[in-house]
Amino acid sequence: MFNFKNRKPAFTLIELLVVIAIIGILATVSVISLSNARAKSRDAKRAGNMKQIQTALELFFNDKNRYPTADEWNTGQIYSTTSNATSTYMQIIPSAPTPNDGSCTSGQNSINYTPTADGSSYSISFCLGNTTGALTPGPKCLTPGGIVDVDCTPGGGVLACSASTPGESTCSYSGENYPTVTIGAQIWLAKNLNVGTMIGSKLADNTTSQNQTDNSVIEKYCYDYVQDGDAGQQSTGTTNCATYGGLYQWAEAVQYLNGASNSADWSPVPSGNVQGVCPAGWHIPTQTEINALISYLTSDGYSGVEGTALKDLSWGTDNFNFAGLRSGARGPYASPFYDQNTATYFWTSSANSGDSIMWYLYPAVTTVNLQSDNRSNGYSVRCLRD
């Protein structure tokens, strides 16, 4: 006979659901912890790969007095053939761990090697999903001087620059060489930036103003190239850009960082350097940095003639080889280009409500001047070393 007194009560439906829920939570926590651990492991491998690659590249440089070409890199290993023997410094160049982590895109996660034309420097793009040692999350660029907190992914607006350390006299960027000059504690490119795809100031209808857009392609205006597609104007524009550099709307110059636009407030304003269209290791100067430049010139004996000291010899004394040309500007007007052979205007990365701060050299003015201006104007860019 069945003894009901000895019967053990079973789980109720509610109790079963609670147990299942607890098991589900524990399983989820375990999966998340495992996923985080794997992500950190991938980041550690990314950082470790960069250290190994940098060591191999320096050994190559010691042997050949240059860094590998793109073709040599594409062999998948780093080796140097001398007259006596072949030295292999890295048997297999590592690829980036996948999947990409954090905010990194697949393109940023890939390891991309870009040497300068003369082999004197290189940049290698990679990306970290999380804080790794002293490195913060996000796109990074390995250079001979170390890891720089910038995005040098090919096609992302940043290419190799050979002037990654003080004392180098030339920066090679996007197929063009830029002299560098030291003014006080600052190192500048001694030529207006000329990088990007040339577009007309107006569309092919020769009426509608054409703005530079956030389309992952750096765009520039070139003086006197007004009507998009006009072959004669294209030729003139190309010549002008080669001499005077490109003209950039402000949002294009800062590469739309933090939602930067030509019409709205910039928020949040970055607290660090804004690389924008400048090469890796360089940035668009802030208003504070321009004021520091003025202060140095003033204290160095050029008080009242700070601007004259920066102008090239056709209209100034060019005491520091800054070579400030009269590059002119572009505005959204019926006749959009103005002031070539008269004045030059440079963007800073500093915003002022819906406008931004630019600095300029003007013929009748011997000082350096700053003012707030409309972001839709096209002005020159001079890059300052980080």
Distance between CA atoms of residues 85 and 67, nearest Å: 18
* Same domain? 254 vs 334: yes
For residue 369, what are the domain limits? Answer: 189-385
Please compute Rg for the chain using Cα positions.
Answer: 27
Is pLDDT of 296 > 60?
yes
How many CB atoms within 10 Å of residue 367?
17
Phi–psi pair at 80, nearest 5 degrees = -135, 125
pLDDT at 123: 80
Residue 301 is given by DSSP the state I
**Residue 316 included in any domain:** yes
* Residues sharing a CB contact under 8 Å with residue 368, sequence separation 6 or more, in sequence order: 290, 293, 294, 297, 306, 307, 310, 359, 361
For residue 154, which of 45, 97, 229, 70 has the smallest C-alpha distance? 70
Dihedral of CA 22/28/31/34: which sign? negative
**Residue 167 included in any domain:** no
**Residue 6 included in any domain:** no
Distance between CA atoms of residues 23 and 31, nearest Å: 12
**Strand pairing category for 170-173 and 146-148:** unpaired
Q: What share of the chain is helix, strand, coil (3-state, %, to 5)?
A: 25, 25, 50
> Which residue intervals of the chain are DSSP H helices?
13-64, 70-73, 106-109, 231-244, 250-253, 287-297, 306-310
Block residue for tokens 């504070």: 288
pLDDT in tens, 64-121: 888 898 889 989 999 887 655 678 899 999 999 999 998 888 888 989 888 766 676 7
Report whether 94 contacts 36 (CB < 8 A): no
* Same domain? 195 vs 149: no
Distances (CA, A) of 352 to 244, 257, 266, 287: 27, 16, 8, 10
* Same domain? 260 vs 352: yes
**Residue 7 included in any domain:** no
**Residue 1 included in any domain:** no
**Residue 367 included in any domain:** yes
Strand partners of residue 355: 352
pLDDT at 7: 57
* Same domain? 127 vs 208: no
* Same domain? 230 vs 328: yes
Provide mean pLDDT across the span 359-368. Answer: 96
pLDDT in tens, 375-386: 999 999 999 988
Distances (CA, A) of 118 to 65, 161, 175, 309: 11, 11, 10, 32
Report whether 300 contacts 310 (CB < 8 A): no
Distance between CA atoms of residues 57 and 87, nearest Å: 12
* Same domain? 200 vs 334: yes
pLDDT in tens, 322-354: 999 999 999 988 899 999 999 999 999 999 888
* Same domain? 110 vs 34: yes
Strand partners of residue 139: 127
Retrieve residue 337's tokens: 């280009």
- Which of the two residues, 32 and 185, has the higher pLDDT score? 185
pLDDT at 108: 87
Retrieve residue 120's tokens: 């004197």
**Average pLDDT of the chain, as a whole number:** 86
pLDDT in tens, 143-201: 776 777 667 776 544 444 544 444 446 777 776 788 888 899 898 999 999 998 999 99
**Residue 321 included in any domain:** yes
* Same domain? 120 vs 197: no
How buried is residue 82: exposed, middle or buried, by Cβ count under 10 Å (0-12/13-18/19+)? exposed
Domain total for the chain?
2
Global confidence as pTM: 0.61
pLDDT in tens, 235-284: 999 999 999 999 999 999 999 998 899 988 888 888 788 989 998 778 99
How buried is residue 86: exposed, middle or buried, by Cβ count under 10 Å (0-12/13-18/19+)? exposed
pLDDT at 118: 63
What whole-number percentage of the chain has pLDDT above 90?
51
pLDDT in tens, 60-79: 988 888 889 888 998 999 98
* Same domain? 199 vs 144: no
* Same domain? 364 vs 232: yes
* Same domain? 219 vs 335: yes
**Residue 4 included in any domain:** no
